[in-house]
Amino acid sequence: MEKYIDKKEILTKALLIMNPKIKKSLLSVDLNDRDDLEQEIKLKIVEAVLGGKIDFPPTFTDYYEVFTNKAIQQANNS
């Protein structure tokens, strides 16, 4: 499944969505350091995505099965 997903596209989407949040976190540092920090944060994010640091999520079917199995187990235990 992993090769069917365009990670870069999701990355761009996430960066666009989260841009205000990143900008907000810059407010806590010195005015001269803000551009540096912004660059470093974005670099870290890109590295995390391309380096596979973020766990790959299960597919819908897998997730559904795991969830229902867990529910059955819990029902049996109690």
Partner 1 sequence: MEKYSSLSEFKKKNTEFLSQPIVQSFFDDSRNLSLLELSVVDGDIEAQNQLDRRFVEHFFLCRLIKYISTLSFRFSIDFNKRRRKQKENFPLLVDQPNNESNSTMLDYLSVTQEQLTIVNEGESSNIFELVVDEALYKILMKLGKKEKEVIQLILGDQLKQIEIARILNESPQNIAKTKKKALMKIRKQYEKRG
- Give the interface with partner 1 as residue ranges (CB under 8 A): 1, 4-5, 7, 10-11, 13-15, 17-18, 21-22, 24-26, 28-30, 33, 37, 40-41, 44-45, 48-49, 54-61, 63-65, 67-68, 71
d(CA 34, CA 9): 26
With respect to partner 1, which residue has the nearer C-beta, 64 or 73?
Answer: 64
Q: Which is nearer to partner 1, 25 or 73 (CB)?
A: 25
Q: Report the C-alpha gap between 57 and 29 in whole angstroms.
A: 34
